[in-house]
Amino acid sequence: MKTFKAYLAGPIAGLLYEEACDWRDEAQKLLPGCIECYSPMRGKEFLKEVSYISTQSYEEHNLASAHGIMGRDHYDVRTADVVLMYLLGAKRVSIGSVMEAAWCYTYRIPLIVVMEGDKNPHHHVMFNEIPVYRATTLAEGCSLACHLLLP
């Protein structure tokens, strides 16, 4: 069976390592094995040791340097079959996630956004036009990804 790539986008800065990873781990459990999940947190286990993840880069770590973050995240979005973006409960706008959404729009990568309605800080006239699908739960977002990618 063919495998598909799902990039798991969502806020990271300002969160604890576990907060940035929990929903991504859950998505991986909800999606079948033929949909491979790519997390921007992979290879960044050192962040378990920081209190909150910075909005700045960690230049001493290649994957967490400014160049490393931009390069790999852009590649992951550009080569994804679908992007699942989890914004539920966001406290502030995630600039990285907004950039990833714009890349989806540019490359015509289907974007599924999981977020509440107009109470989310990402609720904006331009951002609202990008997603192919919207969901209000992670399970619903994962289900949409399956229906989009699988026969």
Contact by Cβ (8 Å): 52, 14: yes
Class of domain 4-149 (CATH, top level): alpha beta
Residue pLDDT, tens place only, 117-148: 888 999 999 999 999 999 999 999 999 999 99
Joined tokens for residue 37: 């999940």
pTM of the model: 0.95
| pLDDT digit string, tens, across residues 21-47 | 999 999 999 999 999 999 999 999 999
* Tokens read off for 149: 């990618």
Cα–Cα distance list, 89 to 5, 13, 63, 81, 123 (Å): 25, 14, 26, 25, 12
Domain regions of the chain by residue span: 4-149
The residues, ordered by sequence, that sit 6+ positions from 148 with a Cβ below 8 Å of its Cβ are: 82, 110, 112, 132, 133
